[in-house]
Amino acid sequence: MDKQDKYIEEEILPELTFSTSRLLSSAQEELKLLKWSELESNTDSGFSNLAKKYCLRAFQNIKKKYQIELSINVPDLILNFFIFGKLYSKKIELKSTKSTSGRLRGSMIKSLDPNIWTIICKRNANKFDIRCGRYYLGMEFSTHEKFQDRSPRPSINFNRFQKIDEEPITALTNKSNAFWKSYAESALTRVLDPQQHSWQDDLVKEIIKIVLNNPSKFDKLKK
């Protein structure tokens, strides 16, 4: 990461994310007009385009301060920053939910950047609440979390993200082991404290039996 890249990550993206979120929060009438679903599928094109509109407007307010150019593609917000003719591509993740709990299925771990800046909209009838922050802030694991057939998709919760008038939390997280450990702990809890049966629980039981019967074979996993 060169100096300009670091500048974008640590200075511009936090300000741009929170400024865009505040503008979106003020656009209640426009949010009401968006088409959030089509038949049984969710559609994010309307929200993406509205977020793009206000992201560009937010950028105009800080453009002179940073001496930088920006173009945006959708869906989500694909940001192309130009500094002295060099391109820096970034992304702001967009999420929405109408769940009363604010919880929704997140992105797949294998393609997930937990540090990506995120804007999330909670739809409640004709009221739209906006929060934002780094993606990992919204992640949560239940005590009985299940993993999926493909790459796990840890849930995120609207209520765990930052409010739009807060100071951005810029601290980074390391995704290397944390997610897998959380899933492993949930798998063990499901076996020890069963609530609903899943084929996954049978798999975990068999893995535990194999390890207990052949502990020396797995010594290297302790390292």
Which tens digits make up the pLDDT trace of 26-52?
999 999 999 886 544 455 789 999 999
Please tell me the predicted confidence (pLDDT) of residue 86.
92
Please tell me the predicted confidence (pLDDT) of residue 90.
97
Pair of tokens at residue 192: 């020890």
Residue with the bigger pLDDT between 84 and 123: it is 123
Please tell me the predicted confidence (pLDDT) of residue 40.
45
State the virtual CA torsion across 39, 44, 49, 52 in degrees, nearest 10: 170
Distances (CA, A) of 115 to 28, 50, 156: 28, 23, 13
Tokens 């929405």 label which residue?
96
CA separation for the pair 167, 143 (Å, rounded): 30
Q: What is the DSSP string of 84-130?
A: TTEEEEEEEEEEEE--TT-EEE---GGG--TTSEEEEEEEETTEEEE
CA count, 13 A, side-chain hemisphere, 175? 15
**pTM, whole model, 2 decimals?**
0.80
Please give the mean pLDDT across all residues of the chain. 86
The pair phi, psi for residue 23, each rounded to 5°, is -65, -40
Which tens digits make up the pLDDT trace of 117-160?
999 999 998 899 999 999 999 988 766 566 655 566 778 999 99
- Strands of the sheet containing 162-163, edge to edge, are 69-73, 77-83, 86-97, 117-124, 127-134, 162-163
